[in-house]
Chains A and B, each alone.
Chain A
Amino acid sequence: MKQYIKGKRDALLDSVLTAEEQMSGLHSTQKRRDKDGDTPFVSKELMQKIAGSLINASIERMRSPGSGVVPSGDPLAAAELARYLEQAQIDSGNAALNKVGPQEEPFIALFLDKLISRLVPERLPEREHLQLTDFEDADGHRTSPINTISVTTLASNITQLSERMESVFELQDSVVRVLSWKRPATMVVTLLVFTKVCYNPMYMALFPLLYLMFGICLPQYNRKHAEGRRFGHTSGKIGRSLFNDLLTNRSQSKVPTQNYGYIGESPTLSNEGNSEPSDITHGMKVVMNLRDFQNLTTSQLKAVDAASKFVNETAAFIDERQTTWLVLVSLFTFVVLRSLCPIINWSFFFSATAWIGAIVFHPRVNPRIKSLFKKKSTVPEEEIDTTTLLQNHHDIVLDQPPQSAEVEIFEIFREGLVPTTWKFFLFSTSLFDLNDESRRAQKPPPGVKSLSEVEPPEGWIFDKNSEWEVDYRAATWVGNRNLDLQIDGEFMIDTAFKRRRLTRRVLRDDVNTK
């Protein structure tokens, strides 16, 4: 009996689901049909879709309690979800999520997935892949790469990424630390390595090999097979190194150099404002990484904006003078560098530049150099504006004439009550001949009563040195339009109307405007 009722309930739910899906499909086609005109029902349709998704998710949820199978059709998403839920339970013990079992999809995620699939029903265009589009799964079935968007996968990816990005930020920190001379020995070693690479690029391949051996593998080996040796006490903390005292940038350093002791373990490097490394809990780490991730994306966005500004404004002849300068300076630099190529010792040039740059930007040297230059320059920096300097000079001649073209309009006359008398009717772009739609509908064509009301096409301006001129070669323009109508002087005449063609010169309105 119970089994029978369960079967009936499932059948009912199935039929509800099918009906709901069909309705949704109906709405989609309706929307497509409405695409040409205005779609006032968009918000209504959206509501319908949300409601539909809600019902759908609820039904899915009702069908699968305790079934033990994750209802999602995407196995990868399901696996990710399981991992995500596990993590969420372990980490925070979130009450809302706790109600859901480890193998069960949270209702909100299910609802959002359904909603997204409703809102984006068509197959999304695929990105280019290096590998073939189809790949085989473990069972040997050919599957396509995942092409649907899933909230759970996305959320779990972001969570995992924010945890795993730690090493990336740590790397970024250590690079900044080295470049800002907080670790002078590392800086000098880096410069030496760079010099070696400059003189022989083969070291680009050799140094990573050395690093793999001595930087990664052997420390791991030593850690694993330490043979019970422990150097708990070291005299490194007592006494100071002249090299470090001379070269370390301690002005901004929050971490005392002594902490970096040469004990086997690398020190936990704290960021600014953190009191003790041991205070950093797992949750705090995640938040820190999220903050860094946010900063990273912000700076990435800024970089993308800057790049697009350069491509679409600086290099796109918006300011003709600026872009011309850019091209010419690039050309000049290219020619000079190409000519000097055989003479310059590039290895020395690059390595010397690196060393000089590193020394100049040393936090102790840099202020002194700046003060040295400040004394020498008497003109305040604000007054020197390179852009105005460029603008005021007359080194670039911007005299490319704008594109010119011709516009036409027809002056249409209507036959008066007395035959052969004509009365002005309209200025129109339409010929208003017998085949004209307005003429057949017995309506006047779109047009104006006065020539002064006629505007040039978008992006063009009338040439003020030209006026509207009557085209007296009526046979030519009539012939070009494949019309076989009576011509009288400059007019083309049909039963009740005659028209003549007026032309005027127009100029493009976008050249040399800056």
Chain B
Amino acid sequence: MTETYRADLVSPVTSQTPLAMDTPMVVIKALANIYPLMVIVDNVLSTLQWRTADSQLVCVHLLMFCLSLRFLLSPHTIALSSLTSASFILDYTGLMSTVFIGCSVSYYIYTVLEQTRFAEPPTVDDIVLLLQSIQNKLDTSRRNMLRVVKITTIRELVQWVTLATLFQLMVFKLHLFSAVHDSRDYVITCVAIAGLYHSQSFQGLLKLVWRVRVVRSVCVWWSGKQRALYSGRSVSAAQWFAEMEAQSRYITVKLIVDDVEELTKINVLRRKLVELYDEKSSDDNSATSALDSPTISFNIMEVKIHQHQRKWNGRDWEEELLSYERPQYTVTSTHNTHNQCESPNVFDKALPERWVSLDHTWYKSAWHYSSTDWNYIGKCDTPECFTRSRVWHKRIFQRSNDA
């Protein structure tokens, strides 16, 4: 039995030429000086994203921060009559939290400075790695934000402003949220949500929520991108044929009549028309015929129906598709937009008058596999393909009127 030989994964971090060789001394010195600052920034970002080893500590700090905010945003004069034991305890813990957070921040900065001063100075590679870590974290936060709020058009701006206004109305006028009574509660709630939002667990939860079909439909509707993949218009077979005829979306071929008897045999006629169609579609100018031979003109139209499928459970392809993406069968119109249509069998039965099938059966192209957003990937089914399409072809013909 032969042993399997496995290729190696390309490791993202390769041993690069030490940067110290190329970096000027002044730059190294400057970077070394701001190293403590970078450590602090990195730690702050880690805390915001709950990436520290002790997540309970982040939770305690967030709680203390909220309590501190509650204390700092309190009205200046406290009416003794309205002072309850609960509010007194909250105010007191708020004061304690404020003092503690102040001390904690100073203590942390002091220890960072102390440790970096007496420790071995960082190498340029250390600094670069730290900067990369900061950049990655900032990038993650940016992506987290853009995933939910992305304003690129005026329409989106208006939408978000309207939503924000409605939300304020619900909070402050209708009092729909029992936990939020006034602007102070509102600020604290916002801070708490902001503190939780960038945590990996919260982002994971958002991704799981995104798996819900209804949520997707609502989000696509909100972003106004539901017409990106198909027009939303449904076209019956008869309508489509009528449109095609009206726009003369067919080619006309001239058949030289050598033997009239032969032409009455439908299979012979079909074969000749197919030959002519292939010639015509390969070279438009080749349709020259002997001047003195009699000819009959035929119109040949190609019916192309796109079939789409989605992979739902990671394995099997199903005809069910999402409401905002393409339906199972589509036909393209003049602007190359996809319109919903019936199945090829219905098209077979709905051939317009005087049109006859040129091909006996529908020719099906190979499947084209795409990502979940219908971006083409390739012709093979792999775990990253979630949608696929193929085209059903069939040609029909009629005797041309201008013959």
State the majority secondary structure of interface residues on B.
loop
Query: Judging by beta carbons under 8 Å apart, are B372 and A407 in contact?
Result: no
A interface footprint on B330-372 (CB within 8 Å = 1, 0 otherwise) = 0000000000000000000000000000000000000001011
Q: Which A residues from 409 to 445 make CB contacts under 8 A with B?
A: 409, 429
Q: Which B residues from 344 to 403 make CB contacts under 8 A with A?
A: 369, 371-372, 377-384, 386
Which of A395, A404, A503 contacts B384, CB < 8 Å?
A: A404
Query: Judging by beta carbons under 8 Å apart, are B314 and A408 in contact?
Result: no
Query: Judging by beta carbons under 8 Å apart, are B369 and A457 in contact?
Result: no
Q: Does A280 reach chain B (CB closer than 8 Å)?
A: no
Which of A331, A399, A456, A464 contacts B209, CB < 8 Å?
A: A331
Q: How far is the CA of A479 from the CA of B22 in the complex (A)?
A: 14
Q: Which residue of B lies closest to A448 (CB)?
A: B5
Min CB gap A439→B, angstroms: 18
Which of A331, A407, A479 contacts B205, CB < 8 Å?
A: A331
Q: How far is the CA of A506 from the CA of B383 in the complex (A)?
A: 10
Known: A402-B384, A507-B382, A509-B383. A457 touches B8 (CB 8 A): yes
Which of A401, A409, A456 contacts B371, CB < 8 Å?
A: A401
B interface footprint on A316-333 (CB within 8 Å = 1, 0 otherwise) = 000011001001100100
**Contact size range, A:** 35 or more
Q: How far is the CA of A480 from the CA of B369 in the complex (A)?
A: 35
Min CB gap B105→A, angstroms: 33
Query: Judging by beta carbons under 8 Å apart, are B17 and A396 in contact?
Result: no
Which of B6, B9, B216, B384 contacts A401, CB < 8 Å?
A: B384
Q: How far is the CA of A20 from the CA of B83 in the complex (A)?
A: 80
Q: Which B residues from 104 to 126 make CB contacts under 8 A with A?
A: none
Q: How far is the CA of A401 from the CA of B385 in the complex (A)?
A: 8
Chain B residues near A466: list those with CB within 8 A. Answer: 378
Q: Does A398 reach chain B (CB closer than 8 Å)?
A: yes
Q: Does A513 reach chain B (CB closer than 8 Å)?
A: yes
Q: Does A512 reach chain B (CB closer than 8 Å)?
A: yes
Query: Judging by beta carbons under 8 Å apart, are B5 and A465 in contact?
Result: no
Which of A408, A447, A464 contacts B378, CB < 8 Å?
A: A464
Interface centre among A342, A401, A511, A513 (most CB of B within 10 A): A401
Query: Judging by beta carbons under 8 Å apart, are A399 and B8 in contact?
Result: no
Min CB gap A328→B, angstroms: 6
Min CB gap B324→A, angstroms: 12
A interface footprint on B12-30 (CB within 8 Å = 1, 0 otherwise) = 0011110000000000000
Q: How far is the CA of A514 from the CA of B14 in the complex (A)?
A: 35
Query: Judging by beta carbons under 8 Å apart, are B6 and A455 in contact?
Result: yes
Q: Does A453 reach chain B (CB closer than 8 Å)?
A: yes
Interface centre among A331, A399, A446 (most CB of B within 10 A): A399
Which of B4, B7, B318 contacts A408, CB < 8 Å?
A: B7
B interface footprint on A470-514 (CB within 8 Å = 1, 0 otherwise) = 000000000111100000000000000000000110111101111
Q: Which B residues from 277 to 333 make CB contacts under 8 A with A?
A: 311-315, 318, 320, 322
Query: Judging by beta carbons under 8 Å apart, are A397 and B312 in contact?
Result: yes
Q: Does A406 reach chain B (CB closer than 8 Å)?
A: yes
Query: Judging by beta carbons under 8 Å apart, are B8 and A482 in contact?
Result: no
Which of B7, B14, B371 contacts A407, CB < 8 Å?
A: B7
Q: How far is the CA of A265 from the CA of B307 in the complex (A)?
A: 83
Known: A398-B312, A399-B386, A407-B10. A453 touches B5 (CB 8 A): yes
Q: How far is the CA of A509 from the CA of B314 in the complex (A)?
A: 11
Which of A455, A465, A509 contacts B7, CB < 8 Å?
A: A455
Chain A residues near B4: list those with CB within 8 A. Answer: 455
Query: Judging by beta carbons under 8 Å apart, are A454 and B5 in contact?
Result: yes
Q: Does A100 reach chain B (CB closer than 8 Å)?
A: no
Q: How far is the CA of A391 from the CA of B315 in the complex (A)?
A: 13
Known: A455-B7, A458-B6. A511 touches B383 (CB 8 A): yes
Q: Does B238 reach chain A (CB closer than 8 Å)?
A: no
Query: Judging by beta carbons under 8 Å apart, are B211 and A457 in contact?
Result: no
Q: How far is the CA of A511 from the CA of B384 in the complex (A)?
A: 9
Min CB gap A513→B, angstroms: 5
**Contact size range, B:** 35 or more
Min CB gap B375→A, angstroms: 11
Query: Judging by beta carbons under 8 Å apart, are A457 and B320 in contact?
Result: no
Chain B residues near A331: list those with CB within 8 A. Answer: 205, 209
Query: Judging by beta carbons under 8 Å apart, are A464 and B381 in contact?
Result: yes
Known: A331-B205, A408-B8, A458-B6. A480 touches B313 (CB 8 A): no
Q: How far is the CA of A232 from the CA of B78 in the complex (A)?
A: 73
Query: Judging by beta carbons under 8 Å apart, are B313 and A328 in contact?
Result: no
Which of A391, A397, A408, A482 contacts B213, CB < 8 Å?
A: A397
Q: Does B208 reach chain A (CB closer than 8 Å)?
A: yes
Min CB gap B363→A, angstroms: 24
Chain B residues near A328: list those with CB within 8 A. Answer: 208-209, 212
Known: A401-B372, A464-B382. A396 touches B8 (CB 8 A): no
Q: Which B residues from 165 to 206 make CB contacts under 8 A with A?
A: 178, 205
Which of B9, B212, B318 contacts A506, CB < 8 Å?
A: B9
Q: How far is the CA of A458 from the CA of B211 in the complex (A)?
A: 28
Known: A342-B178, A398-B314, A401-B384. A481 touches B14 (CB 8 A): yes
Q: Which residue of B lies closest to A509 (CB)?
A: B383
Query: Judging by beta carbons under 8 Å apart, are A398 and B313 in contact?
Result: yes
Q: How far is the CA of A447 from the CA of B4 in the complex (A)?
A: 10
Query: Judging by beta carbons under 8 Å apart, are B15 and A429 in contact?
Result: no
Min CB gap B64→A, angstroms: 23
Min CB gap A51→B, angstroms: 42
Q: How far is the CA of A408 from the CA of B11 in the complex (A)?
A: 10
Chain A residues near B216: list those with CB within 8 A. Answer: 397
Chain A residues near B315: list those with CB within 8 A. Answer: 513
Query: Judging by beta carbons under 8 Å apart, are A391 and B313 in contact?
Result: yes
Known: A400-B207, A401-B384, A464-B382. A394 touches B312 (CB 8 A): yes
Q: Which residue of A lies closest to B386 (CB)?
A: A399
Q: Does B40 reach chain A (CB closer than 8 Å)?
A: no
Which of A404, A406, A512 contacts B313, CB < 8 Å?
A: A512
Q: How far is the CA of A460 from the CA of B382 in the complex (A)?
A: 12
Q: How far is the CA of A464 from the CA of B5 in the complex (A)?
A: 18
Query: Judging by beta carbons under 8 Å apart, are A398 and B209 in contact?
Result: no
Chain A residues near B322: list those with CB within 8 A. Answer: 397
Chain A residues near B312: list those with CB within 8 A. Answer: 394, 397-398
Q: How far is the CA of A429 from the CA of B17 in the complex (A)?
A: 22
Q: How far is the CA of A407 from the CA of B9 in the complex (A)?
A: 4
Q: Does B214 reach chain A (CB closer than 8 Å)?
A: yes
Q: Does A405 reach chain B (CB closer than 8 Å)?
A: yes
Q: How far is the CA of A512 from the CA of B315 in the complex (A)?
A: 8
Which of B211, B377, B379, B381 contacts A324, CB < 8 Å?
A: B211
Query: Judging by beta carbons under 8 Å apart, are B5 and A455 in contact?
Result: yes
Known: A396-B213, A397-B211. A454 touches B7 (CB 8 A): yes
List 6 other contacts, CB 8 Å, given A429-B8, A458-B6: A395-B214, A396-B211, A399-B372, A453-B5, A461-B383, A513-B315
Q: Which residues of B contact A (CB under 8 A)?
A: 2, 4-10, 14-17, 178, 205, 207-209, 211-214, 216, 311-315, 318, 320, 322, 369, 371-372, 377-384, 386
17 A-B residue pairings within 8 Å (CB atoms): A328-B209, A391-B313, A394-B312, A396-B211, A396-B213, A397-B213, A397-B322, A400-B207, A401-B372, A407-B9, A408-B8, A408-B10, A448-B5, A455-B7, A457-B7, A464-B382, A512-B313
10 tightest Cβ-Cβ pairs between the two chains A and B: A465-B378, A512-B314, A464-B380, A399-B372, A407-B7, A480-B14, A406-B10, A401-B384, A399-B386, A429-B8
